[in-house]
Amino acid sequence: MPDRNEILNELKNRYKDEIVSFYDKSPRRVYIEIKSESIVNIASYIFKELKARFNVASAVDARSHIEILYHFTLEYLDLLISLRVKLDRENPTIKSLTSVFKGSNWIEREMYELMGINFEGHPNLKRLLLSDKWPEGVYPLRCDYKEWDNNAIRDRGV
Amino acid sequence: MSIRLNALLKSPWVFHVSTGSCNNCDIEVLDCLTPRFDIERFGMVLAPSIKHADVLLVTGSGNRKSMERVKKLYEQAPKPIVVVAIGECACSRGIFIHSYNCPVPLDKVIPVDVYIPGCPPKPEAIIAGVVKLIQKVKEKTKNNA
C-alpha cells in the first residue's frame, strides 16, 4: 500500500495544471482547490484508482462565489481529502458526478434545491426535500435569501 | 359527550407523530413507556393508527411538508381527540422560529390542549403533563354533566 506522501505527490504531479492550490492542513486532512472543469477527472481518479470512499459534498455561499467541497476518505491512510471548487455566483454550474458514483445523486439534488447550483448531466435534477409549494428560483441557504411567505408567523405570540 | 370523555379517560390510546424533530423528544416519549416510568399504569397505550387514537402526541418544529400531514391526521382522528404538544419545538418552534421551513407554529394549524415544554422534557414532566390532561378532561366532563 502506498503511503500518504506518495499518494499526494502522485496526485499533485498528475493534475498539476488543474490544481489551483494545495493545503495540507493536518496529517488527517488535505484541502485541494481545483478548476471546476476538471472535477469529473480528479474525482474519478480519487474514487476509482485511490479506492476512496465518497463521504458527502457540501456547498457554501461565500458571498463572492459559491464553493462546493467534495469530501473523500482514504480509510487505509486515515486521510480526508476535500476537493474545493469555486463557482460563479450568478450562474453556478458544474458537471454532475452521478455517472462516476451513484452516491452523489441525492446530495447534488439537495445542493440544487437549497443553493441553486446547476449540475450538468444529472439524470434526475429535481427537488429532494422542499415542499411542492416552494417557489421556483428561491434558494433558502443563499446569503441573500429573503422571506417570501407572507403568511409566516415569526413571533411567539407573547 | 361526557360518557365518551369518561371512556377516553379510562385508557387513552396515544398516537405519536414526529413533525421533523431531532428525535430527542421521541426518545423521552419512548422512555415513558419503559418499565421505569411505565405510563401504561395510567392505561396509556401507543395506538398503531390515528383511527384508534384518543390522544395525538406531536413532537418537532413542524416543517412545511409535515404540517400538511399533521392537519390530515387531525382530520382523520375520531373526535373527541386531545392534542399534546411535547417539547419546545412543538410548543413554539424553539430555535427554529426563524427557519425558512417552519412558517407556522403547531397551535395555528390544529388546536392544542396541553403544552409540555422542555428540550427535551423529562419523562417526569411528560407524566405531570399527562396527569394535568386527565384532570382537565375530568373537569370538562363535570361541567358538561
Q: Is the pTM of this model over 0.90?
A: no
| Residue B12: predicted pLDDT | 86
Q: How confident is residue B3, by pLDDT bands cut at 50, 70 and 90?
A: low
Minimal Cα distance from A139: which residue of B?
A: B100
Using CA atoms, how far apart are residues A44 and B135, in angstroms rounded to an integer?
Answer: 65
| Residue B5: predicted pLDDT | 67
Q: Where are the domains of chain B?
A: 2-144
| Residue A136: predicted pLDDT | 87
Task: Give how far the C-alpha of residue A3 lies from the chain's centroid of Cα atoms, to the nearest Å.
Answer: 26
Place of cell 403568511: A151
- Flag whether pLDDT at B2 surpasses 70: no
Choose the closest CB to B103 out of A130, A153, A156. Answer: A153
Q: Which amino acid is at B63?
A: N
Grid cell of B66 as nine digits:
409535515
For residue B69, give the nearest of B131, B20, B103 by alpha carbon. Answer: B20
B105 shares contact with chain A (CB less than 8 Å): yes
Residue count (chain B): 145
Q: Where are the domains of chain A?
A: 4-91
Q: Which amino acid is at A140?
A: P
CB contact (8 A) between residue B64 and residue A134? yes
| Residue B81: predicted pLDDT | 87
- If contacts are CB pairs under 8 Å, which of residues 17-76 in chain B contact chain A? 63-65, 68
Place of cell 404538544: B85
Grid cell of B142 as nine digits:
363535570
What ipTM did this prediction achieve?
A: 0.73
Q: Name which CATH class applies to A4-91.
A: alpha beta
Segment holding A68, helix H or strand E: strand A66-74
Q: What is the mean pLDDT of chain B?
A: 87
pLDDT under 50: residue ranges of chain A: none
Segment holding A67, helix H or strand E: strand A66-74
Choose the closest CB to B105 out of A131, A147, A153. Answer: A153
CB contact (8 A) between residue A154 and residue B65? no
Q: pLDDT for B84-127, tens place per residue?
A: 999 999 998 889 999 999 999 998 999 998 999 999 999 999 98
| Residue A48: predicted pLDDT | 92
3-state secondary structure at position B16: strand
- CA angle, B87 then B90 then B95, to 5°: 80
In degrees rounded to 5, what are phi and psi of residue B123? Answer: -55, -35
- Flag whether pLDDT at B1 surpasses 50: no
Q: pLDDT for A84-101, tens place per residue?
A: 999 998 899 999 999 999
Grid cell of B70 as nine digits:
399533521
Q: pLDDT for B45-71, tens place per residue?
A: 889 999 999 889 999 998 899 999 999
The domain made up of B2-144 has a fold known as: Rossmann fold (3.40.50)
| Residue A112: predicted pLDDT | 92
Using CA atoms, how far apart are residues B8 and B78, in angstroms rounded to an integer?
Answer: 11
Grid cell of B19 as nine digits:
413533525
Using CA atoms, how far apart are residues B97 and A145, in angstroms rounded to an integer?
Answer: 16
Contact B59, B90 (CB under 8 A): yes
Q: Where are the beta strands (DSSP E) in B2-142?
A: 13-18, 45-46, 55-59, 82-86, 114-116
